[in-house]
Amino acid sequence: MKTILITGLDGSGKSTVFEKIRQKSSFSVHFIKAPQIDTQFLPQNSKILKAAQFINWLNEESDLKQMPQLKAVALLSSMLLIKEILKIYNNQSFKYVILERHPLIDTAIYGRFYAPLLKKIIISDQILSQIEKQFAEELQYIIEFIPAAYFSTRQSPLRNLFYFIYDYFYLRGELKISDLENIFQINPPSEIYYLQAQPDILYQRIKDRTRKEAHENTEILKLLAQAYQDFFEKYFQNKVIIIDTNEIENLNIFANQMIY
């Protein structure tokens, strides 16, 4: 099974490309989005299905209530499940899996942005306790994917996830891909495509969205764009194909080239 990453910042055209490929490709292609996970092909009544449904709920809740700290947990948790989801898809004879986020790449970018927001948890203890009580099994399942060596404290599962993100992606300083490989136990994608557009163009495309995420403003988009560039140059030099998506027509051309 071939894994293909088509990533980029919000507004770069990922959803447009995914939909065009979906419409024209064969049934041997499947897609993985994150943090909103498609649960259609996950085994019924399985732990991973319940965990994915919890992550989807958490992601929706973070957007609805404008809680970026919950978004950070949803993003990390979805990345922790990707290896297991790929195993399931491999057993179902998919030839190609196209991802919009990958644990070894996008986690590094967004983890560094969201981690400082966890320095002080502004969510009430009541809300945290309600989440932990309602989704105790799902949280325990998710946190077991993180090696114990990466925890310097032991708290409840949700608070452990908060602390892990803050500690690993912020306090420890420079991020090493070797640590990401140890945590996620996953191979890099077979192919990497990065949809690139100017931050001001990206913002014009997303400014009218009903729900804004914490990173959806021009200044943050500039910082994230630079973070992707630096990360690719350091760890994936000559392995990333840059697609200029400043013009919408380029998205159509690229999508047509990616039909399987």
Pairwise CA distance, residues 237 & 181, whole Å: 17
Integer CA distances (angstroms), 137 to 19, 46, 55, 157, 180, in order: 34, 12, 13, 10, 25
pLDDT at 33 over 70: yes
254 Cβ neighbours under 8 A, 6+ residues apart: 17, 193, 195, 243, 245
The one-letter code for the residue type at 153 is: T
pLDDT at 5 over 70: yes
201 Cβ neighbours under 8 A, 6+ residues apart: 11, 246
Closest CA relative to residue 107, chosen from 131, 142, 65, 74: 74
Give me the percent of the chain exceeding a pLDDT of 90. Answer: 60
Instruction: Specify the 3-state DSSP secondary structure of 87.
Output: helix
Average pLDDT (150-164) is 81
Pairwise CA distance, residues 96 & 6, whole Å: 13
Average pLDDT (174-180) is 84
pLDDT digits (tens, 9 = 90+) for 58-74: 999 999 888 899 999 99
Q: Are 165 and 111 in contact (CB under 8 A)?
A: yes
Pairwise CA distance, residues 111 & 75, whole Å: 8
pLDDT band at 176 (very low <50, low <70, confident <90, very high): confident
Fold of 2-257: Rossmann fold (3.40.50)
Tokens 């994915």 locate to: 52
Lowest mean pLDDT among 120-129, 132-141, 217-226: 120-129
The one-letter code for the residue type at 67 is: M
Q: What is the pTM of this model?
A: 0.91
